[in-house]
Amino acid sequence: MITTDILIIGAGPTGLFTVFEAGLLKLKCHLIDALPQQGGQCTELYPKKPIYDIPAYPEILAGDLTDKLMEQCKQFEPGFTLGERAETIEKQEDGTFIVTTNRGTKHQATVVAIAGGLGSFEPRKPLIHNITDFEDKGVEYMIKEPEMYRDKHVVIAGGGDSALDWSIFLSDVAKSVTLIHRRNEFRGHLDSVEKVQELKNKGKINLITPAEVVGIVGDDKVKAIVVKQAQHIEKEFEVKCEHFIPLFGLSPKLGPIANWGLEIEKNAIKVDNSLDYQTNIPGIFAIGDVNTYPGKLKLILCGFHEATLMCQSAYKIINPGKRYVLKYTTVAGVDGFDGSRKEAPKAVVKAFD
């Protein structure tokens, strides 16, 4: 059981900034995210794209914003459960909550802050009639442990960056890598495209385009996939493989959170915006893109504001009756849970001779 003060669901910009604001109040945070890395949409969808409306940053890349938020909160030692989706929540008699992930990891906290953005990113599954029969039996929609492909025959389908990057990476690990895409053109960073071309020329990646995977062959495990190729004459053939990895991007879904008894409107969680962004269940807050209230704007800067106010309320729930007044970091400095201290340099007091 992982225990913490505030359990944050979603490690995007709003969730990461919550760690900092909570830390100033000496509250410890743990974050759960369905993606294997921090940053949410910013790192999953557009890490190399600029954002222009972060106060004081005329321009910052989404990936860099994530790095800076991680650096800003690191002295408060947040814990992370990554690559797992928050599945159920149970209120305990002592008022705390236990949140369990799809992998069975349990987390206990007094306050739960849902900073889930558009929801958890679920892989988009290609329309192959028997694909669900082979999930975790050779079909994987995400690569979590590249080692499991060592010395295996692997087929990757897709035409974007992740299909390209994983084909490159696995060409060194797997026995064979076949990349299948509906078009002859791929979309990705120039260096990835060039690298795949180079590996294709060396015979380390077997490229099949324009083609589609239309079926999977096997009994209880993937043995081969059926490919339909449409160049010149249409033909169908099998490619032997032990793993088939369709990489067609991710699409966010509100997911299990929708069944937690929270008031939902327009695919978002209704909160009290006049006070602290608490949901209809006391002790559960929703901040950032995942919440809604009159006049809501889905902006990162709004998420930061909501996180800050939410932490004040969380403090009162976790420390009932305990006094506190807002301190400015310039005056009070920042005391990390790791023993570090940041503070403004003292002014020099000295008379001139």
212 versus 276: smaller Cβ distance to another protein: 212
What is the identity of the amino acid at 164? Answer: L
* Helix (H) / strand (E) containing 229: strand 222-229
For position 118 contacting another protein by CB under 8 A, the verdict is yes
For position 160 contacting another protein by CB under 8 A, the verdict is yes
For position 243 contacting another protein by CB under 8 A, the verdict is no
50 versus 79: smaller Cβ distance to another protein: 50
Q: Which stretch binds another protein (CB under 8 A): 103-111, 182-190, 328-336, 344-352?
A: 182-190
Give the β-pairing of 106-114 and 2-9: parallel
Distance, CA of 46 to CA of 62 (rounded, Å): 7
Closest by CA to 207, choosing from 223, 231, 189, is: 231
Q: Which stretch binds another protein (CB under 8 A): 27-35, 116-124, 227-235, 334-342?
A: 116-124
For position 215 contacting another protein by CB under 8 A, the verdict is no
For position 10 contacting another protein by CB under 8 A, the verdict is no
Q: Give 45: exposed, middle or buried? Use CB within 10 Å, 0-12, 13-18, 19+.
A: middle
Q: How far is the CB of 189 from another protein (least distance, A)?
A: 13
169 versus 248: smaller Cβ distance to another protein: 248
For position 189 contacting another protein by CB under 8 A, the verdict is no
Beta bridge partners of 111: 6
Burial 289-308 (b: 16+ CB within 10 A, else e): bbbbbeebeeebebbbebbb
Closest by CA to 108, choosing from 124, 93, 120, 97, is: 97
For position 254 contacting another protein by CB under 8 A, the verdict is yes
Distance, CA of 141 to CA of 135 (rounded, Å): 8
For position 103 contacting another protein by CB under 8 A, the verdict is no
* Candidate residues 107, 153, 181, 195; the one interacting with another protein per rule CB under 8 A: 181
Strands in 103-221 per DSSP E: 106-114, 120-123, 153-157, 176-180, 205-208, 211-218
For position 228 contacting another protein by CB under 8 A, the verdict is no
* Contact criterion met (CB below 8 Å) for 291 and 115: no
* Candidate residues 2, 24, 45, 217; the one interacting with another protein per rule CB under 8 A: 45
The 48-67 site mask, x for binding another protein (CB under 8 A), equals -x------------------
44 versus 276: smaller Cβ distance to another protein: 44
Give the β-pairing of 222-229 and 235-240: antiparallel
Estimate to the nearest angstrom the gap between the alpha carbon of 74 and the chain centroid.
Answer: 18
For position 240 contacting another protein by CB under 8 A, the verdict is no
Q: How far is the CB of 289 from another protein (least distance, A)?
A: 9
6 versus 225: smaller Cβ distance to another protein: 225
Q: How far is the CB of 294 from another protein (least distance, A)?
A: 14
For position 248 contacting another protein by CB under 8 A, the verdict is yes
For position 251 contacting another protein by CB under 8 A, the verdict is yes
Name the phi and psi angles at 123, rounded to 5: -65, 145
* Contact criterion met (CB below 8 Å) for 118 and 99: no
For position 129 contacting another protein by CB under 8 A, the verdict is no
Binding site for another protein (CB under 8 A): 45-46, 49, 118-119, 124, 126-127, 158-160, 181-183, 185-187, 248-249, 251-252, 254, 266-268
